[in-house]
Structure 1
Amino acid sequence: MKKYLAAFVFLFIIYTASAQESQTYNRAIGVKFPAGFAITYKQFVTDRNNVEGEAMFWSSGFRAVGLYEFNFDIEGVDGLRWYVGPGAHIGFWNHDYQQRKNISSAGFGIDGVLGLDYKLADYPINVSVDWQPAVDLVGSSGFTPAYGGIGIRYTF
């Protein structure tokens, strides 16, 4: 089911793509493929700063993330920026990988993000790749380096 939803969203983005002169955008919505499947929404609050929300789903849980990102242009490549920022998350899951058993649990923690963002010049599409390490403070506490992924978004 998740694969069909991802395929539908990707095809919708491609289908609705139309010519656009601007290298920048104010908002974007799309999908991110990390260790699971995420729906992502990005909103710029200034020319260089944005907030991003993610709702990530995988076979044994759900995770909601809020990030504040600082964006910096990369000279020589129009539309390419790198970004970094802090964030927080809350998650619910039915499996504890450290104890290797099925248990219902919840967690809260802090996140960081480091990535690249590219806005296609002629289409309302942006592509990103990022690394999003997290530290769970409540619940299954500890460092998790495995979040992040490749995102494809429709910009408007």
Structure 2
Amino acid sequence: MRRYFFCLIIGLFIAGQTEVKGQYYDQTIGFRGGTSFEISYKRFIFYTPNVQQAIEGLVGVQLDEGISFPTILYDAPQNNGYVFEALWVLHVDLGFDTNFSGFAGAGGYLGAYTETGRDPFFGGGFTAVFGVEYTFSHAPVSVSIDWKPIVGFPRLSLARGGLTLRYIIATTWQ
């Protein structure tokens, strides 16, 4: 598994034949790992000199973490769940390097969860995201680290973080 992941990273760097400048791209696809494992698609939809707005969709598996809400209803820990998240994200240039940006956003999630010894059930709620992103100048790759708390039923989780590796899809308007 590590060898395939390493080959994927090397392949992404080799595939980058065009120079990407900072946040000047409009869509990415990637993988987010951490307290969840998700496939991420982000598309920038509105640009101003200081703030770029994007929508992001994530689909994946959420690991067993968080606090059951309310805890008195659940006597067994929650297991993995399949989740879909949609976020509205604002990117802001951090000022010291055009390749770095900070971001914050909010959205919602829906999930299908299981508990040990119980039937699967559905849940949903609100999610937020805060983080920093670095875009490589000579490769179509960006890396971000984030904190993404969720509040909803059946979960409340304030300790969700992750690392996202994204491939930048070439644009024609640059």
Aligned counterpart, 1:133: 149
Mapped to 2, the partners of 1:39 and 1:112 lie a distance apart of 17
Q: Please list every run of 5 or more consecutive structure 2 residues that lacks an aligned counterpart in the other structure.
A: 64-79, 170-174
Aligned counterpart, 2:107: 87
The amino acid across from 2:19 in the alignment is: Q
- 8 Å CA contact 2:20–2:136 kept in 1: the answer is no
Structure showing greater radius of gyration is 2
Mapped to 1, the partners of 2:100 and 2:34 lie a distance apart of 21
- 8 Å CA contact 2:12–2:139 kept in 1: the answer is no
How big is each residue's C-alpha offset from its partner over 1:98-122, in whole Å with a ceiling of 9 and x where there is no partner? xxx3431210100011010111111
Do residues 149 (structure 1) and 162 (structure 2) align? yes
- 8 Å CA contact 2:13–2:140 kept in 1: the answer is no
Q: Does the residue aligned with 2:35 lie in a helix, a strand or coil?
A: coil
Q: Please list every run of 5 or more consecutive structure 1 residues that lacks an aligned counterpart in the other structure.
A: 96-100
Q: Does the residue aligned with 1:55 lie in a helix, a strand or coil?
A: strand
Aligned counterpart, 2:71: none
Size of the alignment, in residue pairs?
Answer: 147
**Aligned-CA RMSD value:** 2.2
* Higher alpha-carbon deviation: 29-38 or 4-13: 4-13
Distance 1:148 1:102, change over 3 A: farther
Aligned counterpart, 1:98: none
Q: Does the residue aligned with 1:123 lie in a helix, a strand or coil?
A: coil
Mapped to 2, the partners of 1:82 and 1:56 lie a distance apart of 24
* 1:4 Cα offset (Å): 8.0
Mapped to 2, the partners of 1:70 and 1:145 lie a distance apart of 20
Q: Does the residue aligned with 2:145 lie in a helix, a strand or coil?
A: strand
Mapped to 1, the partners of 2:31 and 2:97 lie a distance apart of 24
* 1:128 Cα offset (Å): 0.4
Mapped to 1, the partners of 2:112 and 2:123 lie a distance apart of 7
Q: TM-score, normalised by structure 1?
A: 0.83
Mapped to 2, the partners of 1:58 and 1:70 lie a distance apart of 24
How big is each residue's C-alpha offset from its partner over 1:69-119, in whole Å with a ceiling of 9 and x where there is no partner? 111111111211101111100011222xxxxx3431210100011010111
